[in-house]
Structure 1
Amino acid sequence: MQIILIIILIFGAFLVQAGLGFLQMKHFSKAYTELRRIGKVAIGKRPGKVRAGTIVMFAISNSGKILKAKKMQGVTVMAQVKDLDGFEGKHIQSLNDNDMKHCNKLLKLAILDAVHNYKTIMSGGEIPEKNSLFKSIMLQAERVTLTKK
C-alpha cells in the first residue's frame, strides 16, 4: 500500500512540475513576442546546473541599438521574465564591463552570450546547437565502443 502512495506522490509531483514548466514557457513566449514586435531579438543564456539558470533577451534596432531588455533568472520553474534596466540606447556590439557593473556573474555571462550570438548571426554564421546531457552521454559511449574495436 505504501508503494502505491509513493508512486502517486511522485506522479503528482511530475504533473505539478510539468504544469509549472508549461506556464513558465508561456510567460517566456509572451515576453519574446513583445520584444519581437519592437525589433530583432538577441537571446543569450547561461544554463544552471546547480546555480540559477539565466536567459536574457534584447530587442534591437536595425542599427544594433538596444531598445528593450528582459531577463529570466532562477533555479526553479517559478523564475519569471522581468525587465532588465540599464541597457536601453546602448549598442549591443559595444557593451563592456562598465555597462554590466550592476549585473551578477551569471547575468553577465548570459549577456556576453547574447552579444556573441548577435555578432555570429549578423555576420552570416550559425549558432551550433549544444548537446543535451543525454546526447553527450550517448556520444561518449559511442566513442568508447569505437576505440575498443
Structure 2
Amino acid sequence: MQVFIIIILIAGAFIVQAGLGFLQIQHFSKAYAELRRIGKVAIGKKPGRIRAGTIVMFAVTDSGRILKAKKLQGVTVMAQVKDLNGFENKNLKTLTEKDFAHCNTLLKLAILDAIQNYQTIMSGGEIPEKNSLFKNIMLKAERVTSAKK
C-alpha cells in the first residue's frame, strides 16, 4: 500500500511540473511574440543542468540596434520572463564586455550566444543544433557498442 501511495505522489509531482512547465512556455511565447512585433529577435541561451538556466531575447532593427531586451533565468519552472535593462539603443554587433559587466556569468554567456547566433544568421549561416544530454548519452552508447564489434 505504501508503494502505491509513493507512486501516486511521484505521478502527481510529475503532472504538476508538466503543468507549470507548460505555463512557463506560454509566458515565454507571449514575451517572444511581443518582441517579434517590434523587430527581429536574437535569442541566446545558456542551459543549466544543476545551476540556473538562462535565455535572453533582444528585439533588434535590421542594423542591429537593440530596441528591447528580456531574460528568463532560474532553476525551476517558476522562473519568469523579465525585462533586461541597460541594452536599449546599443548595437548587438558591437556590444563589449563593458556593456554587460553588470550581468552575472550565466547571463553574460547567454548574451554572447545571442550575439554569435545573430551574426551567424545575418551572414546567411545556420545555427547548429546542440545535442541534449539524452542524445549525448545515446551517441556515447553507440560508439561503445560499435567499438566492441
What TM-score range do you get, normalising by the shorter chain?
A: over 0.9
C-alpha distance in 2 between matches for 1:14 and 1:147: 37
Partner of 1:130: 130
Q: CA deviation at 1:109?
A: 0.3
Instruction: Structure 1: give runs of 5+ residues left out of the alignment.
Output: none
How far is 1:115 from its partner? 0.1
CA distance in 2, matches of 1:50, 1:138: 21
Aligned to 2:99: 99
2:57 match: 57
How many residues matched? 149
SS at match of 2:26: helix
Question: 1:16 aligns to what SS in structure 2?
Answer: helix
Residues 42-93 of structure 1, C-alpha deviations (whole Å, 9 max, x = no match): 0000000111000000000011100000000000000000000000000001
Q: Name the residue aligned to 1:38.
A: 38
Give the superposition deviation at 1:146: 1.6
SS of aligned partner of 1:34: helix
Report the 3-state secondary structure (helix = DSSP H, G, I; strand = E; otherwise coil) of the residue aligned with 1:99.
Answer: helix
**TM score, norm. by length of structure 1:** 0.98
Match for residue 82 of structure 2? 82
The two structures, once aligned, show a CA RMSD in angstroms of 0.6
Identity %: 77
Aligned-partner Cα distance in 2 for 1:138–1:105: 30
Aligned partner of 1:5 in structure 2 is 5
CA distance in 1, matches of 2:52, 2:135: 22
Does 1:66 find its partner at 2:66?
Answer: yes
What is the alpha-carbon distance in structure 1 between the residues aligned to residue 126 and residue 66 of structure 2? 21
Partner amino acid for 1:32?
Y
How big is the shift at 1:132? 1.2
Residue of structure 2 equivalent to 1:15: 15
CA distance in 2, matches of 1:9, 1:145: 37
Aligned to 2:101, the other structure's residue is in SS state coil
* SS of corresponding position for 1:76: coil
The runs of 5 or more residues in structure 2 that have no matched partner are: none
